[in-house]
Amino acid sequence: MLYYLEPIYIALSLFIVIAVLIFIPWLIYIYRRFGYFPFSTTIIVFSFIFYFMAALFLTMLPMPDTRHNCTDVTITQPYSLKPFQFIEDIKRETRVEWTNPSTYAYLLKERAFLQAFFNFLLLMPLGVYLRYYFGTRRAWWKALPLIAGVTLFYEVTQATGIYGFFDCPYRVFDVDDLILNTAGGLLGFFLAPIILALFPSRAEVHEKAEQLLARDEVRNMAVLLAMAIDLAFIRMFVELISSISGYTDAWSRFIVHTLMLILWLAILPAMGKGATFGTRILRFRYTGERLIIGLVKRTLAVWLVFALQFTSSILSEIQLETGSSENFTRLMNLFEFVGSSLLVLILFLHVIIVLLSKEKRRFYFDAYAKLSATRRPKDESIAKDRD
């Protein structure tokens, strides 16, 4: 059993790294495609990435210690082309008495049975994913060649020593693996509704996307992601400007950050029909009867939080420069810690409350600015308002 767990553990470790790297780009992609964030689609796609990596590592690992592995290979026959050889192997190695059901439990300890069993299970999840993609049982004839193609890819990769990377193949090309993998994948395709009943179908996801587009509804999660993108780029430019100019003290950074907020969240959106860089990426913009004033108020709302965050660090810097007493220094450090922690907690609770409100609440900066998000072009929005 440990033989199978190690490749899965390696796949899981690598998957976590990949998931962290692609999560934000994935959110951007999925929103641009559907106009909202279907949680079920994210679960299915990310689980498929992990499954594909785990299945690949199970067939590839462990690898030889060196590319020049011919002297270490113990395989005498690199090909096993006799179908259903695994049945004879199980009969030969097992202690099971087929007339005595109480001995069937011995199969769980037999190498030949476990190898065949895990080969059968290997591509069963692939059948489930293909059923989700095709959406109908009648598409089994489309899934079958895909499943067979994947298992053939695994076997050829093994038989060629990963396409010549190793001098000699270190695993056997086994026709039984082709049979068992394909059979398991096809069974997974037919049994998939048992699992897929927990998730909306692709058609339902697309239908909901069309409904949101017709209602011109921009979800709070998209607003939050757009703001995160904007603030990330603002922070990047602040760091760049501070590094180039050499002014890295709190006051200088405060001024640069303030100017960048005004430019990024007020001036550029006013010139860009209400769209910031983040909202443009996510294909929506802000609109309102007094757009310019609303953008200024929205910028002010964001700046106030930023100003509170910098207040403690500025005061701390001032008291250090004036050579304050040790007790006063400790008091200011405590004030900085408590103030920053309280601000983070309030913002965190605000975000959670808004996201869980089922679109009944709005983020404070949009509510204060009295701006609404729209996915319609400016000309279309004006025409609709007139109607």
In a domain, 174, yes or no: yes
Residues 66 and 183 in one domain: yes
CA 28/CA 178 separation, integer angstroms: 38
Residue whose entry in the numeric block shows the structure tokens 């068992």: 180
Residues 257 and 174 in one domain: no
Residues 221 and 199 in one domain: no
Helix (H) or strand (E) holding 297: helix 291-321
Give percent of the chain above pLDDT 70.
91
CA 192/CA 124 separation, integer angstroms: 9
Q: What is the model's pLDDT at position 1?
A: 58
In a domain, 311, yes or no: yes
CA 346/CA 329 separation, integer angstroms: 26
Q: What is the mean pLDDT of residues 282-297?
A: 94
- pLDDT band, very low/low/confident/very high, at 379 (cuts 50, 70, 90): low
Residues 194 and 229 in one domain: no
Q: What is the model's pLDDT at position 385?
A: 42
Q: What is the mean pLDDT of residues 287-307?
A: 95
Which domain, by its residues, includes 225?
216-386
Q: How far from the centroid of its chain's Cα atoms is residue 149's Cα?
A: 27
Q: What is the model's pLDDT at position 315?
A: 64
Q: What is the model's pLDDT at position 380?
A: 53
Dihedral sign, Cα of residue 147, residue 153, residue 156, residue 158: negative
Is 55 a residue whose pLDDT tops 60?
yes
In a domain, 194, yes or no: yes
CA 253/CA 350 separation, integer angstroms: 26
Residues 279 and 376 in one domain: yes
Residues 308 and 358 in one domain: yes
In a domain, 288, yes or no: yes
> pTM of the predicted model, to two decimals?
0.85
Q: What is the model's pLDDT at position 13?
A: 96
Of 223, 245, 256, 319, the closest CA to residue 27 belongs to 223
Residues 315 and 373 in one domain: yes
Which of residues 176, 206, 236 is at a domain's end? 206
Is 342 a residue whose pLDDT tops 60?
yes
Q: What is the model's pLDDT at position 386?
A: 40
Residues 295 and 188 in one domain: no
In a domain, 366, yes or no: yes
3-state helix, strand, coil in the chain (%, to 5): 75, 5, 25
Is 17 a residue whose pLDDT tops 80?
yes
Q: What is the model's pLDDT at position 142?
A: 96
C-beta neighbour count of 86 within 10 angstroms: 22
Q: What is the model's pLDDT at position 170?
A: 86
Is 382 a residue whose pLDDT tops 50?
no
Mean pLDDT estimate for the chain: 89
* Residue-wise pLDDT tens digits, 112-150: 888 999 999 999 999 999 999 999 999 999 999 999 999
Q: Into how many domains does the chain fold?
A: 2
Residues 8 and 132 in one domain: yes
- pLDDT band, very low/low/confident/very high, at 239 (cuts 50, 70, 90): very high
Residues 192 and 228 in one domain: no
| CB contact set of 113 (below 8 Å; sequence gap of 6+) | 90, 94, 107
CA-based angle 34:222:282, to the nearest 5?
65
CA 243/CA 247 separation, integer angstroms: 7
Is 181 a residue whose pLDDT tops 70?
yes
Backbone angles phi, psi at 285, to 5 degrees: -150, 175
Contact (Cβ atoms closer than 8 angstroms) between residue 35 and residue 214: no
Q: What is the model's pLDDT at position 387?
A: 42
Q: Give one DSSP letter per residue of 318-360, joined into a string.
A: HHHHTT--HHHHHHHHHHHHHHHHHHHHHHHHHHHHHHTTTTS
DSSP symbol at 169: -
Contact (Cβ atoms closer than 8 angstroms) between residue 179 and residue 86: no
In a domain, 211, yes or no: no
Which of residues 155, 187, 206 is at a domain's end? 206
Q: What is the model's pLDDT at position 329?
A: 67
Residues 234 and 290 in one domain: yes
* Residue-wise pLDDT tens digits, 308-324: 888 866 666 655 554 55
Q: Where are the beta strands (DSSP E) in the chain?
A: 79-80, 173-174, 285-287, 372-374
Residues 185 and 38 in one domain: yes
Instruction: List the helix and strand counts (H, then E) for the chain.
Output: 18, 4
In a domain, 189, yes or no: yes
Q: What is the model's pLDDT at position 105?
A: 82
CA distances from residue 301 to 48, 125, 252, 298 in whole angstroms, order as listed:
41, 48, 21, 5
Which of residues 206, 241, 262 is at a domain's end? 206
Return the SS3 of 68: coil
The residue ranking higher by pLDDT, 73 or 58, is 58
In a domain, 306, yes or no: yes
Q: What is the mean pLDDT of residues 344-349?
A: 95
Q: What is the model's pLDDT at position 383?
A: 44
